[in-house]
Amino acid sequence: MLLALYAVLPMVFAIPAGRLADRIGVRRPMLVGSCGIAAGAALPSIAPGLSSLFVTAVLIGVSFMAFQVATQYATGEMGGPRSRVRNFGLLALGYSTSSIAGPLIVGFGIDHGGFRATFALLALLPLIPVFVLATNRLKLPGPHPAHTAHPLSHAFDLIAHVELRRVFAINALMSMAWEIHTIFVPIYGNSIGLSATMIGLILAAFASATFVVRLAMPLIARRLSEHQVLTTALFIAGAVYIAFPFSRSVATLMALSFCLGLGLGSGQPMVMALLHSHAPPGRMGEAAGVRMSLINSMAVAVPLMFGAVGSAFGLAPVLWSVGVCLTTGGWLTRRV
């Protein structure tokens, strides 16, 4: 329930948040989002308890959504179309860095200072962007001049756009694959008798791969088009999920997880670059909001839907069905 609360409200409010960024620029949404994240992280250290964790999940979920939508809009606007893939690769590299450093910092903090001290430490981190944004130390895009041309626009207009619809569909597939790995790989590891440490190594292999591939994104972008990268990423992810149920050793699962990280890690910058290229002028923030809404929809639906399938038929059909969906998506993307 806590994880669902983190995603439910962002799923609903991501599109309005994107429209707001189009209308007023990105600085204020990023500043408010940073303040909300700091407040949400501080709450459990001030008033520990389950009830405060529910408030924290809602507050951090909505605040990070506002920050992330505005950040993605700003990244696409900086440097022009030729440097767009590189810029989104750097943004994704930041996410990969946090996915590696975050668990290490939190684990060390809990072991040596306890939960309250760790939450207090986490509450200090967003104060850095708060300071940078409040003092105007970073030049950021303002309101898009073309936004006034779409006063009665609707999100379904973006979904009806052929190229954007394809990008959203690819994004939904990759989000599903990411969520399945986060949730079901630990369950699968436990079902075959792996320890928590071994499962952690498998997950770390995935995070390390996303870091490596995003570090190489400028080189990849010079050699391959966005569609070529996305097609390859879907085929790799599909093959990995089909192979997962046949694998029982830690080394094999780490290798598969690393390959999956390479595929999914390369996809996000390309999706964002295509989204920015095809979004109508003045509606990039709204398009980023639609994407964020889809991601959070997956975060809510995947555990429920595939959890029910896994309970009824076992984990192997879940992993195989995801592999077939991803492979089919890669085949359809290749034909575009």
d(CA 16, CA 318): 34
Residue 228 covered by a domain: yes
245: Cα within 13 Å, side-chain hemisphere = 13
Per-residue pLDDT of the chain (336 residues), as tens digits, is 777 778 788 888 887 888 788 788 889 999 999 999 999 999 999 999 888 999 999 999 999 989 988 888 888 777 766 777 778 888 888 887 887 777 778 877 888 888 899 999 999 999 999 999 999 888 887 776 554 544 545 656 666 666 777 888 888 888 888 888 887 788 888 888 888 778 878 888 888 898 888 888 878 878 888 778 888 899 999 999 999 989 888 899 999 999 999 998 888 778 777 777 777 776 767 777 777 777 777 777 776 777 777 777 777 888 888 899 889 888 877 655
Alpha helices in 126-195 (DSSP H): 127-134, 155-160, 162-191
Q: What is the pTM of this model?
A: 0.71
In a domain, 170, yes or no: yes
Cα(72)–Cα(84) distance, integer angstroms: 11
- Residue 139 domain-assigned (yes or no): no
Task: Look at residue 48 and tell me if it is in a domain.
Answer: yes
Query: What domain range is 264 assigned to?
Result: 2-134+154-334
Name the E strands within the chain: none
Alpha-carbon gap, residue 121 to 106, rounded angstroms: 9
- Position 146 in a domain: no
Give me the number of domains the chain comprises: 1
- Number of Cβ atoms within 10 Å of the Cβ of 131: 11
Q: Is residue 145 part of a domain?
A: no
How far is the C-alpha of 256 from the C-alpha of 192, rounded, in Å? 16
The CATH number assigned to the domain holding 294 equals 1.20.1250.20
25 within some domain:
yes
